Amino acid sequence: MSLRTFSFGGGVQSVAALVLQAQGKLGQDFDTWLFSNVGDDSEHPATIQYFHEVALPFAEKHGIDLRMLHKVRRDGTTETLYGRLTREGSRSLPIPVRMPDTGAPGTRSCTADFKIRVIGKWLKQHGASADNPATVGVGISLDEIHRANARKVEPHERLVYPLLDLKLRRSDCLRIIRDSPLPPPRKSSCWFCPFHRPLVWQDMRRDEAELFEKACNLEDLLNERRDELGKDHVYLTRFGAPLRQVVPEGADLLPFFGDETDGSCDNGWCMT
C-alpha cells in the first residue's frame, strides 16, 4: 500500500488543509503529516511555537499523525540551517543571499537540503520507491498556482495539491482557520530568509529587535568570511547595503518597498 503524506509547512495553507482533514472536507485524507524543521534556531520562533502549542494538539485531538522531522547527519547528529551558516570555517551559502550589483538571489540549496530531502529520506525509509511512490500533498492555494510546477518531482513521490482541487485561495484558507476556530499562523519561513519583504524586516526591527539584530549579525558574519576569500559582499535584502542601513531604526520605509514580492522561493515547501 502506498504512503499518503502531507508536507506541512506550518503556514496558512497547510494549517487550513489540516483543519479540512479534521472536518472530513479535504477531499482526500493523508495518513501522515510531515513538518521538516530546518532548526529551532532557524525557523521563525513563532512557527515553532505554533506547531507545538496549536497545530500538534489540534492534530492529536482529531487523530491526525503530525510529525516533526529534522536533518540528521550520517553520525546521527542533527544539523540546522543556521548551524551550517555559522559553523566555524564554513564557506557554505545555502540560502539565496542577494548579489550586490543586481539584488538578484544567489543559488540556494536550503529548501532541497533541509525540506525536500529530509522528507524524501523519511518516505524512502517507510517504503516509498520509484515503483511504489508516495503521495505527497502540498498546500498551494489557487492564487499561487504557478508554484505547483516549480519543483522537479522525485521518483519516489507523486505530488498532489488538494487546495487547488478545492479551488481555495489564501483568503479562503484564513477563513477556514478562523472558523475552526484556531488562531491564524504567521507566514512560515526562516527568520533570516533573504526573500522577506522589506516591510517584514521593518516589522521585525520594531517588534522583534533581538531577532533583527541576530539577522544583522549573521549578514556581518557572512561578509567577514567573504572578505577573507576576497569576494564581494552579499546581503539579506535586494538593496545592496547592510540590513541595518536598509531598515533604519524608527524610520518608515518608502511606500513602494512594500510592493516587493517574496522573490522566487516558489516551490511550495517553505511558505505554506
pLDDT in tens, 177-221: 999 989 999 988 999 999 999 999 999 999 999 999 999 999 999
- CB atoms under 10 Å from CB of 254, counted, come to 8
Residue 151 cell numbers, joined = 519543483
Check if the beta carbon of residue 163 is closer than 8 Å to that of residue 142. Answer: yes
Collect all residues with Cβ–Cβ distance below 8 Å to 81 and sequence separation of at least 6.
38, 39, 42, 94, 95, 110, 113, 114, 190
Secondary structure (3-state) at 50: helix
Per-domain residue ranges for the chain? 4-78+109-189
Confidence at 261, pLDDT banded by 50, 70, 90: very low
The top-level CATH class assigned to 4-78+109-189 is alpha beta
Structure confidence at residue 146 (pLDDT): 84
Distance CA(238)–CA(259), nearest Å, equals: 13
pLDDT in tens, 142-179: 998 888 876 678 899 999 999 999 999 999 999 999 99
Structure confidence at residue 213 (pLDDT): 97
Can you name the residues that pair with 35 across neighbouring β-strands? 68
pLDDT at 29 over 50: yes
Mean pLDDT of the chain: 91
User: What region, left, alpha or beta, does residue 213 occupy, with left being phi > 0 and alpha being psi -120 to 50 degrees?
Assistant: alpha
Structure confidence at residue 244 (pLDDT): 95
Can you name the residues that pair with 216 across neighbouring β-strands? none
Structure confidence at residue 252 (pLDDT): 60
Residue type, 103: G
Task: Residue 130: name the closest of 154, 111, 110 by CA.
Answer: 154
Confidence at 45, pLDDT banded by 50, 70, 90: very high
- pTM to 2 decimal places: 0.91
Distance CA(214)–CA(144), nearest Å, equals: 31
